[in-house]
């Protein structure tokens, strides 16, 4: 049996890397991943899938060079930028490995954790999550991130405090995840919801050394909204609670007015209290309509059944 034939009989581990404006870091990312399969993971065959999410900085050219030098690499390109979740979904759907690993392209997730992830998978964990205990980000970003994940944990308590994207999934888990045909996916919630056996590995996220993050406040807010509206009934329940509280306060205030009138003490007459009440109640109504509108818009998106992404080319 030739060396190549023997290699092809090894179990496959797929590694999915979503790419957007990551020129300069991709070659090193590929080199670090490939080195693992020449060392501690030599008993496995790699399948490395890069998904270019409409980059305009030359990332695709770098990916073509990587793919030309490594037959284990597959490159998927989009017609435009569809977002990180769409790129991850395209990569997941293209995998063939018995295990699938999702990792960032910016070298902030340490690849040297992958052998430990594989060890835990072989020991029986169907999902292995590497979660962030700390991150080399500005303090404002840290505070907002912690607050957002604290709220997400009300919907999915299993989510670690620091959140995660760096994860290994068994083939069974991957197939089940891919079977969810929905728009506005919440990765962490959809992954943990079925209840597969899960183990956790803490790590400190590295500081980005090449380029700058494209995950701006708008994208973070959109992801947070998707998380809360997709995985939680909290917004709707908050509307119910606010409505019930406002109704109760209205009844109590009405009773106090009747009592004051019966006692001959008419309440203060003037436009200020009325304006305050109207503005507050009107603002609450608009807020509630906005939340309901978000749900209706998502229902509309589901009914339209547009794809999460459009693939331009697949380079094998």
What digits encode the pLDDT tens for the residues 211-234? 565 566 676 667 667 666 676 667
CB 169 within 8 A of CB 126: yes
Q: For 4-8, 29-33, 187-191, 198-202, which range has the lowest pLDDT when averaged over its residues?
A: 4-8
β-sheet with 73-78: strand ranges across: 198-205, 127-135, 166-170, 99-104, 12-19, 45-52, 73-78, 311-315
Cβ of 171: how many Cβ atoms within 10 Å? 16
The token pair at 213 is 């993050």
Band the pLDDT of 116: cuts 50, 70, 90.
very high
CB 87 within 8 A of CB 19: yes
| pLDDT of 32 above 50 | yes
Angle between helices 139-155 and 217-231 (to 10 degrees): 10
pLDDT for 212: 60
User: Cβ-count burial of 293 within 10 angstroms (0-12 exposed, 13-18 middle, 19+ buried)?
Assistant: exposed
Q: CA-to-CA distance for 11 and 44, rounded, in angstroms?
A: 5
b/e 47-61 (16+ beta carbons within 10 angstroms → b): bbbbbbbbbeeebbe
* pTM for the predicted model, two decimal places: 0.78
Q: What is the pLDDT of residues 249-260, one digit of tens each?
A: 777 777 777 777
How large is the average pLDDT for residues 141-151? 67
Considering 81-95, 124-138, 230-244, 259-273, the range whose residues carry the highest mean pLDDT is 81-95
Alpha helix positions (H), 79-134: 84-94, 114-122
| pLDDT of 5 above 60 | no
Closest CA to 187 of 214, 213, 216, 149: 149
Report CA torsion sign: 115, 118, 123, 129. positive
Closest CA to 191 of 281, 298, 101: 101
The token pair at 195 is 């209840």
| pLDDT of 285 above 90 | no
Q: CA-to-CA distance for 191 and 185, rounded, in angstroms?
A: 10
Closest CA to 78 of 56, 102, 107: 56
Closest CA to 151 of 209, 223, 98: 223
């Amino acid at each position: 049996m030739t060396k190549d034939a023997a290699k092809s009989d090894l179990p496959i581990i797929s590694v999915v890397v979503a790419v957007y404006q990551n020129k300069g870091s991709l070659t090193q990312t590929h080199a670090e991943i490939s080195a693992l399969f020449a060392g501690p993971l030599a008993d496995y065959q790699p399948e490395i899938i890069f998904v270019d999410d409409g980059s305009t900085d030359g990332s695709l050219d770098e990916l073509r060079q990587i793919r030309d030098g490594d037959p284990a690499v597959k490159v998927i390109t989009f017609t435009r930028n569809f977002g990180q979740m769409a790129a991850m979904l395209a990569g997941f759907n293209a995998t063939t490995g018995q295990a699938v690993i999702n990792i960032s392209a910016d070298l902030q997730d340490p690849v040297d954790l992958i052998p430990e992830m594989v060890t835990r998978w072989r020991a029986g964990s169907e999902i292995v999550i590497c979660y962030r205990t700390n991150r080399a980000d500005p303090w404002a970003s840290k505070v907002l991130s912690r607050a957002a994940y604290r709220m997400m944990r009300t919907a999915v308590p299993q989510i670690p405090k620091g959140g995660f994207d760096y994860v290994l999934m068994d083939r069974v888990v991957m197939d089940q995840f891919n079977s969810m045909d929905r728009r506005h996916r919440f990765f962490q919630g959809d992954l943990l919801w079925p209840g597969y056996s899960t183990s956790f590995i803490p790590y400190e996220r590295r500081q980005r050394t090449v380029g700058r993050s494209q995950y701006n406040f708008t994208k973070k807010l959109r992801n947070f909204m998707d998380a809360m509206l997709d995985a939680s009934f909290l917004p709707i329940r908050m509307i119910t609670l606010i409505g019930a509280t406002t109704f109760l306060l209205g009844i109590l205030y009405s009773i106090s007015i009747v009592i004051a009138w019966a006692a001959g003490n008419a309440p203060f007459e003037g436009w200020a209290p009325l304006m305050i009440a109207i503005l507050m109640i009107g603002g609450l109504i608009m807020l509630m309509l906005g939340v309901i509108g978000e749900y209706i818009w998502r229902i509309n998106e589901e009914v339209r059944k547009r794809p999460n992404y459009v693939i331009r080319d697949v380079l094998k």
